[in-house]
Structure 1
Amino acid sequence: MAYEFVRESEAKQYRSDCSYVLKETCELLKKKGISAQFSLVGSGARNMITRDGNGPYDLDYNLLVMKADDEYRDPRLLKDTIRNALNKAVGGKFFSDAQDSTSCLTALLHFKDTPNVEFSFDVAIIKKNPNGNYMRLVHNKPWNQYTWNEVPRSHQVKDRADDIKEEGLWQEVRDKYLEKKNMYLSWQDHNHPSFVVYVEAVNEVYNRYFNRGGGYSVQSIF
């Protein structure tokens, strides 16, 4: 199997259901002293939803924690609180309770009366560090440790994506994104959620064409 892009018309209803659940999750978190907002990964990068062959596909969201009470400095408590809020928001309406994976929370939608998965959505918990880069909350299961891992050069990704689009090079980002998704799939690497792959794809294409002065260059700027 290999990843391929999903048509926008097909994903529209699922995106609506996910937005409903995540809006409710953010409202529940606010009552717990956590201010957060969600975004579809690559939402500015339209039509970049993928599926693995003919199987079920998923949507990938970031839940950005903007402010939280001091008790949530404990990343384990923070993730458990977010997972509980997400499960309460789901409430059996659409999805099963969220599973705690290494890099995100995953909620599954099953076909009626069968155990087969129809659709799922992943929620990566992130925050910004003082340098402006994003940090993602990771559960290192073999050691049962919760840590914040930096996504390198992620603070520049929006501006770089805008530059790439303005020069008509966005198809190269789409191609690179799909290539990298399939590379990690072939490696059985489950530690690269879509947001990380998206940042890598944007940075690689940017580095191929732009130099420090903003012009084109075939040399990497790093």
Structure 2
Amino acid sequence: MSKEKHYEFISRKDCQNPLQRTCNIIQLTIKNLKAKGIKSNYYVIGSAGDRNLVTCLVIDGKKQPIDIDINLEVDLHTVPTKYKQLGLLKELIRSEINKAIKECGEKFSDGQNSSSVITSILYDNKKNILFSFDVGIVSRNKKNELQRLVLTKKNNSYTWNVVFGTLNLGEKTKLIKSNEDWQKLRSVYLKFKNKYINDENHPSYVCYKMAVEAVYNQLLQECDELDYEGMFEAIGDVELSRSFEQLNILYQKGFITKPFYRFPEEEQTDSESVCWYFIDTLKDWDDYKRRGIGRGNNDAEAKIRAAYDILRFMLYDDDEEE
């Protein structure tokens, strides 16, 4: 008879101790890797910052021990030649995690090498699991896309699998937060976690990325005035010398946070990137609202309208301030 299982959210308080102990181990691992010339950083999936997306597995109504999910991102440019072979790189990281566990005075099991993560488990005296943590090894490819180190057990080979849709993930998350849609994202994230509960190809980070994409795309459908092409063309039509003059006026009036507007690097000058770069120079919404600038049905729409209003001023000296 198969057991009923699902994920559900847990409070910050319940995961605070396991999370802190895990982070101590990973921080020491990163320090030890740096001593070997390898630069890396880490982030906690589901609980980094103010995400509050930590889940636990529930089987037949009984909550299971907490499992902390970590991404350890390696700068491939710093990996010494002797560790370029992916199997050796993962084994090095596994070894350094085991070393850090002992140096921290913890008694976790040796890291287990699974398909996409390294798993370390803490048992009590009766061999009951207290909690565990999984470390996924990730890096960036030439397109700056996130990729996960994956083991194919059938032929015992390692490869980097691209996690598609991770570009601009931070910007999309900011938009979701500004539109007060975080509860919606929590709901969608939990839905994906449970949908792929038995699928090793959909770890927590992939489910989180999918949730952000789903909520972001829904938000775009609701805000049909996101005319990136039109904004890009408008920005491009402003003469450079005049735009500097107008932007300085905007800066002096306190409309924007930077006196000079700069386009992103050449490889990022698609219309969406340029428009978001422009929008990110804007100031606090509440200030715009008080001025009667950037009206909208929600914060996200108001932000776009504020960008249009300021572009209009740059182009036509049409100051709509009330």
TM-score by length of 1: 0.91
**How much has 1:25 moved relative to structure 2?**
0.5
1:64 alignment partner in structure 2:
73
1:5 alignment partner in structure 2:
9
Give CA deviations for 1:47-96 in whole Å, capped at 9, x if unaligned. Answer: 11100111112111110102322333211111000000001111261411
Q: Which residue of 96, 103, 108 maps to 2:109?
A: 96
Q: Does 1:162 align with 2:171?
A: no
Aligned length: 213
1:194 alignment partner in structure 2:
204
Which protein is bigger by CA-based radius of gyration? Answer: 2
2:119 alignment partner in structure 1:
106
Q: How does 1:26-175 map to 2 (within 5 A)?
A: 26-42=30-46, 43-53=48-58, 54-66=63-75, 67-91=78-102, 93-111=106-124, 113-175=125-187
Contact 2:15-2:66 within 8 A present in 1 as well: no
User: Matches of 2:214 and 2:57 in 1, distance apart?
Assistant: 23
User: Matches of 1:7 and 1:56 in 2, distance apart?
Assistant: 14
2:270 alignment partner in structure 1:
none
Distance 1:128 1:47, change over 3 A: same
**How much has 1:157 moved relative to structure 2?**
1.1
User: Matches of 2:16 and 2:227 in 1, distance apart?
Assistant: 39
SS at match of 2:167: helix
Q: Larger strand proportion, structure 1 or 2?
A: 1
User: Structure 2 unaligned runs (5+)?
Assistant: 229-299, 302-322
User: Matches of 1:130 and 1:86 in 2, distance apart?
Assistant: 27
Relative contact order (alpha carbons < 8 A, sep ≥ 6): 1 or 2 greater? 1
**How much has 1:44 moved relative to structure 2?**
3.5
Give CA deviations for 1:129-176 in whole Å, capped at 9, x if unaligned. Answer: 121210100011112010000000112211101110000011111001
Distance 1:39 1:129, change over 3 A: same
After TM superposition, the runs of 4+ consecutive aligned structure 1 residues lying more than 3 A away are: 211-216
User: Matches of 1:11 and 1:69 in 2, distance apart?
Assistant: 36
1:219 alignment partner in structure 2:
none
